[in-house]
């Protein structure tokens, strides 16, 4: 037993002794419940990979549970969003608001953050919080800790490749200067071609991004065909090879650091589970174990909305030998078991069958049900959608077509109603029935918008464009349904949808980087370029800045791409990310300030396109391979086996029928006995490839690579707070 364990043990023992000291049954019960809460907090920390070293006193544990409550976490996110969104209303404003309003908003946000911070400070040991003076700074930046870490980790390795790449660009520029500088070539706007070394470097850097290909080559190519070799070699080396190497290096680093990070997460999780075990353990046959009753209570505290049947299923997987208690190893599986999403299903009868049994079971009614369930029904509606697509493409001014629109809407409504008549409504609108939800929402909104549109049309003073736009978009979105009816497409879309949430973590990173560049850009370029709504106004030809007269920027009509407010800054940054024409955009801002403005745009390109987009691609690749290639985990397999053993499994196709997902709480208990009689009324299905948390996917990614000893007990003395590990991860980042 390590020192840390002894300390922990002594701690538990002491609190146990304290509880015993009061020697009242209520207090003992209270103590028992405190212990359970502490263990529950450990388990849910392990489940969601939180890494906070909180005080273990009962009060702090309760505070900590409150701290982790989803509603508070959600509130914090709302305030962060509001705080960031304030930039839209502050000068330079997209939508101007009075100064006092934004000030008050800002104050409210800051108050919320402070409250959160105080709450946090109450939870963790005081000396730990103040030991680190940078704590408050950390808390502010912490939201995007992981994302920033990705960049920081990729940097050192990429920097050497980057220098080599820069040397290559510099040398090619020198060669270009020597080869073309003396030939008196002219570019298309009559400037001299490749005579200034600095300009050449910028031009060739832009060529790496392909944005000025083939224009940059044309003067030389026109002068002699063989000069094209220079540019082809340049593109081969710098555009293709170096960019691929950047991707390879970023990908490699990304994987390496992610693996290390996941390894640490797994270890921390393990530690927490060991602590939870120590809190709850009892001795049985000289082996520390956890009893089933205790375990049941724990699970109910950790996951209040778990069904009894689901809980018993998990227990039967943990306690394979049906001994009524489990050892340490089986206990440690708990968070993984909880993270496997099990869909609990109950067969239900259609409400109409209860309300109007005679009519519902009549032969006419049964015919309707058979028609709806028939394959041809799907084909007919697919055909209707295609016809609809053609009608949408035709002119809607014609009154015939606008009548047709009502017919299509009616047909779609009829389809939904018929399906609701046939299938049990709660099953039809179950959580995983994405397409049913999608259909119904689209159709209902289209109905509302179309009605609104035709009601408002006759009234004067209404131009109706906004609502009509929505109607059009909804009308086209309806066509998406065709995709669902082709199996292969559905598979691809499902994969994309599954990767979706984990990709969103990158959305955070990109948003923050955009935000920083938008702020800096507004500082530097605000008001230098103006867009005139009225194209007849005198300055509109040169974006209100005489320096832009005759420039490519003004000629291309890019005036609205400016840094005058947050929204246009973001749009501009998106355009820079897409890369094409970025040199023209950059040249505009260079013209209105000075040549050093290019630095801003080059840094943005390096940071966003070379590093972040590559990390993004690396992530998509990795996630896609996991989705494609990984088989089910060991625990999942054993859980599935158990489900099969108990004959509680359901096939995929049954999911679409009269079964409904149901969430029971521990209180609303049906009891397990009902389950086994005849055909079970309660069935399970593993949603095998859904991950509750982002970390779940990450851990799965590297599951195969993690050596088993990482899972072994860590018994080194400074286990409690390994070096460089103390208080690194406040929980902001694991919501």
Site for its own copies in 192-211 (CB under 8 A): 197, 210-211
Task: For residue 284, list its beta bridge partners.
Answer: 287
Q: State which residue, 452 or 613, has the beta carbon closest to its own copies.
A: 613
By CB under 8 A, tell whether 78 contacts its own copies: no
243-262: which residues touch its own copies (CB under 8 A)?
A: 244-245, 247-249, 251-252
Q: State which residue, 120 or 205, has the beta carbon closest to its own copies.
A: 205
CB of 341 to its own copies, least distance (A): 24
By CB under 8 A, tell whether 492 contacts its own copies: yes
CB of 557 to its own copies, least distance (A): 5
Q: How far apart, in whole angstroms, are the C-alpha atoms of residue 716 and residue 366?
A: 69
Instruction: Classify residue 541 by its DSSP letter.
Output: G
By CB under 8 A, tell whether 552 contacts its own copies: no
379-418: which residues touch its own copies (CB under 8 A)?
A: 389, 392-393
The residue range among 37-45, 308-316, 555-563, 593-601 that interacts with its own copies, by the rule CB under 8 A, is: 555-563
CB of 702 to its own copies, least distance (A): 14
CB of 493 to its own copies, least distance (A): 7
214-233: which residues touch its own copies (CB under 8 A)?
A: 214-215, 217-218, 221-222, 225, 228, 232
Give the interface size with its own copies as a residue count (CB under 8 A): 82
By CB under 8 A, tell whether 175 contacts its own copies: yes
Q: How far apart, in whole angstroms, are the C-alpha atoms of residue 304 and residue 300?
A: 5
Neighbours of 311 (CB within 10 A): 19
User: Which two tokens mark 552?
Assistant: 């490519």
If you search the block for the tokens 């801002």, which residue do you land on? 589
Whether the link from the prior residue into 214 is cis, omega within 30° of 0, is yes
CB of 390 to its own copies, least distance (A): 10
By CB under 8 A, tell whether 438 contacts its own copies: no
- Residue 107 class from Cβ within 10 Å (0-12 exposed, 13-18 middle, 19+ buried)? exposed
Q: State which residue, 44 or 569, has the beta carbon closest to its own copies.
A: 569
Neighbours of 146 (CB within 10 A): 18
Question: Ramachandran region of residue 324, left (φ > 0), alpha (ψ -120 to 50) or beta?
Answer: left
User: Which two tokens mark 478?
Assistant: 């309806």
CB of 382 to its own copies, least distance (A): 13
CB of 441 to its own copies, least distance (A): 17
Q: State which residue, 353 or 484, has the beta carbon closest to its own copies.
A: 484
> In this chain, which of 27, 55, 73, 213 binds its own copies, going by CB under 8 A?
213
683: part of which helix (H) or strand (E)?
strand 682-686
CB of 419 to its own copies, least distance (A): 23
Q: How far apart, in whole angstroms, are the C-alpha atoms of residue 606 and residue 165?
A: 12
> In this chain, which of 28, 151, 235, 646 binds its own copies, going by CB under 8 A?
235
Task: For residue 35, list its beta bridge partners.
Answer: none
82-101: which residues touch its own copies (CB under 8 A)?
A: 94
Task: For residue 282, list its beta bridge partners.
Answer: 289
Residue 158 near residue 246 (C-beta atoms within 8 A):
yes
Residue 617 near residue 608 (C-beta atoms within 8 A):
no
Q: How far apart, in whole angstroms, are the C-alpha atoms of residue 72 and residue 83?
A: 16
How far lies 120's CA from each of 44, 83, 123, 134, in Å? 17, 20, 5, 15
Q: How far apart, in whole angstroms, are the C-alpha atoms of residue 628 and residue 291?
A: 40
The residue range among 136-144, 300-308, 489-497, 588-596 that interacts with its own copies, by the rule CB under 8 A, is: 489-497
By CB under 8 A, tell whether 434 contacts its own copies: no
> In this chain, which of 384, 482, 511, 646 binds its own copies, going by CB under 8 A?
482
Instruction: Classify residue 239 by its DSSP letter.
Output: I
Question: Ramachandran region of residue 55, left (φ > 0), alpha (ψ -120 to 50) or beta?
Answer: beta
CB of 629 to its own copies, least distance (A): 8
> In this chain, which of 63, 493, 520, 706 binds its own copies, going by CB under 8 A?
493
CB of 624 to its own copies, least distance (A): 4
CB of 496 to its own copies, least distance (A): 7
> In this chain, which of 112, 404, 480, 655 binds its own copies, going by CB under 8 A?
480
By CB under 8 A, tell whether 501 contacts its own copies: no
- Residue 586 class from Cβ within 10 Å (0-12 exposed, 13-18 middle, 19+ buried)? buried
Q: How far apart, in whole angstroms, are the C-alpha atoms of residue 209 and residue 585?
A: 14
If you search the block for the tokens 């680093």, which residue do you land on? 253
Q: State which residue, 469 or 715, has the beta carbon closest to its own copies.
A: 469
By CB under 8 A, tell whether 322 contacts its own copies: no
The residue range among 112-120, 176-184, 426-434, 688-696 that interacts with its own copies, by the rule CB under 8 A, is: 176-184
The residue range among 353-361, 579-587, 693-701, 709-717 that interacts with its own copies, by the rule CB under 8 A, is: 579-587
596-615: which residues touch its own copies (CB under 8 A)?
A: 613
By CB under 8 A, tell whether 303 contacts its own copies: no
If you search the block for the tokens 């940071």, which residue do you land on? 607
User: Which two tokens mark 323?
Assistant: 């001994």
452-471: which residues touch its own copies (CB under 8 A)?
A: 469
Instruction: Classify residue 607 by its DSSP letter.
Output: I
The residue range among 167-175, 312-320, 599-607, 680-688 that interacts with its own copies, by the rule CB under 8 A, is: 167-175
By CB under 8 A, tell whether 164 contacts its own copies: yes
By CB under 8 A, tell whether 571 contacts its own copies: yes
By CB under 8 A, tell whether 161 contacts its own copies: yes
Question: Ramachandran region of residue 727, left (φ > 0), alpha (ψ -120 to 50) or beta?
Answer: left
Q: Positive or negative, the Cα torsion across 152, 154, 156, 161?
A: negative
506-545: which residues touch its own copies (CB under 8 A)?
A: 531
Q: Closest Cα partner for 15 from 27, 5, 3?
A: 27
CB of 139 to its own copies, least distance (A): 31
Task: For residue 660, list its beta bridge partners.
Answer: 346
> In this chain, which of 17, 78, 99, 167 binds its own copies, going by CB under 8 A?
167
> In this chain, which of 580, 637, 668, 721 binds its own copies, going by CB under 8 A?
580
How far lies 559's CA from each of 544, 555, 556, 589, 599, in Å? 9, 9, 8, 11, 21
CB of 21 to its own copies, least distance (A): 59
Q: State which residue, 298 or 618, has the beta carbon closest to its own copies.
A: 618
Q: How far apart, in whole angstroms, are the C-alpha atoms of residue 255 and residue 702?
A: 9
């Amino acid at each position: 037993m390590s020192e840390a364990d002894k300390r922990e043990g002594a701690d538990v023992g002491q609190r146990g002794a304290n509880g015993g000291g009061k020697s009242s049954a209520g207090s003992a019960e209270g103590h028992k419940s405190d212990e359970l809460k502490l263990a529950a907090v450990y388990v849910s920390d392990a489940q969601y990979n939180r890494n906070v070293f909180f005080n273990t006193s009962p009060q702090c544990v309760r505070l900590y549970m409150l701290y982790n409550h989803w509603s508070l976490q959600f509130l914090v996110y709302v305030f962060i969003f509001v705080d960031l969104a304030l930039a839209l209303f502050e000068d330079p404003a997209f939508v101007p608001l009075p100064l006092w309003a934004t000030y008050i908003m800002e104050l409210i946000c800051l108050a919320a953050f402070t409250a959160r911070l105080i709450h946090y400070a109450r939870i963790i040991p005081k000396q730990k919080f103040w030991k680190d003076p940078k704590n408050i700074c950390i808390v502010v930046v912490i939201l995007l800790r992981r994302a920033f870490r990705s960049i920081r980790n990729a940097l050192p390795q990429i920097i050497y490749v980057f220098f080599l790449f820069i040397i290559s660009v510099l040398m090619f520029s020198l060669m270009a200067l020597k080869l073309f500088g003396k030939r008196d070539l002219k570019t298309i706007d009559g400037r001299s071609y490749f005579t200034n070394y600095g300009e050449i470097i910028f031009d060739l850097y832009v060529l790496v991004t392909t944005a000025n290909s083939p224009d940059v080559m044309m003067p030389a190519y026109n002068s002699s065909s063989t000069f094209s070799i220079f540019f082809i070699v340049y593109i081969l080396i710098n555009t293709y090879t170096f960019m691929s190497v950047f991707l390879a290096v970023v990908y490699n680093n990304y994987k390496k650091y992610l693996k290390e990070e996941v390894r640490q997460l797994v270890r921390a999780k393990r530690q927490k589970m060991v602590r939870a075990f120590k809190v709850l353990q009892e001795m049985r046959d000289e082996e520390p174990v956890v009893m089933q009753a205790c375990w049941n209570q724990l699970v109910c505290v950790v996951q209040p909305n778990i069904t009894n049947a689901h809980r018993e299923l998990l227990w039967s997987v943990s306690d394979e030998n049906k001994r009524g208690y489990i050892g340490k190893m089986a206990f440690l599986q708990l968070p993984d078991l909880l993270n496997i999403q099990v869909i609990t299903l109950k067969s239900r009868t259609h409400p109409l069958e209860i309300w109007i049994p005679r009519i519902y079971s009549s032969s006419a009614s049964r015919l309707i049900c058979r028609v709806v369930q028939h394959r041809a029904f799907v084909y007919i509606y697919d055909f209707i959608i295609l016809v609809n697509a053609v009608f949408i493409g035709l002119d809607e001014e014609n009154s015939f077509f606008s009548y047709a629109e009502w017919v299509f809407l009616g047909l779609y409504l009829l389809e939904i109603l018929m399906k609701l008549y046939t299938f049990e409504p709660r099953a039809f609108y179950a959580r995983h029935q994405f397409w049913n939800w999608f259909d119904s929402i689209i159709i209902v909104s289209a109905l509302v918008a179309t009605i609104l549109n035709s009601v408002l049309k006759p009234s004067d003073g209404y131009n109706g464009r906004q609502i009509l736009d929505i109607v059009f978009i909804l009308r086209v979105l309806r066509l998406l349904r065709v995709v669902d009816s082709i199996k292969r497409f559905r598979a691809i879309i499902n994969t994309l949808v599954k990767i979706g949430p984990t990709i969103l973590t990158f959305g955070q990173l990109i948003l923050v980087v955009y935000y920083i560049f938008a702020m800096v850009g507004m500082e530097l370029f605000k008001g230098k370029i103006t867009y005139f709504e009225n194209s007849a106004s005198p300055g509109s030809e040169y974006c209100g800045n005489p320096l832009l007269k005759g420039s490519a920027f003004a000629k291309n009509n890019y005036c609205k791409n400016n840094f005058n407010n947050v929204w246009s800054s973001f749009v501009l940054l998106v355009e820079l990310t897409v890369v094409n024409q970025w040199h023209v955009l950059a040249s505009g801002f260079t013209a209105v300030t000075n040549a050093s403005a290019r630095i801003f745009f080059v840094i943005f390109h390096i940071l966003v396109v070379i590093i972040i987009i590559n990390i993004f691609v690396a992530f998509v690749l990795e996630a896609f391979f996991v989705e494609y290639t990984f088989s089910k985990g060991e625990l999942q397999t054993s859980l599935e086996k158990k489900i099969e053993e108990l004959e509680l499994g359901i096939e995929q196709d049954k999911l679409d029928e009269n079964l409904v997902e149901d969430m029971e709480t521990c209180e609303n208990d049906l009891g397990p006995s009902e389950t086994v009689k005849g055909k079970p009324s309660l069935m399970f299905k593993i949603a095998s490839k859904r991950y509750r948390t982002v970390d779940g996917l990450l851990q799965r990614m590297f599951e195969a690579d993690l050596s088993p000893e990482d899972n072994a007990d860590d018994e080194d003395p400074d286990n409690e707070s390994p070096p460089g590990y103390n208080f690194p991860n406040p929980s902001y980042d694991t919501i």
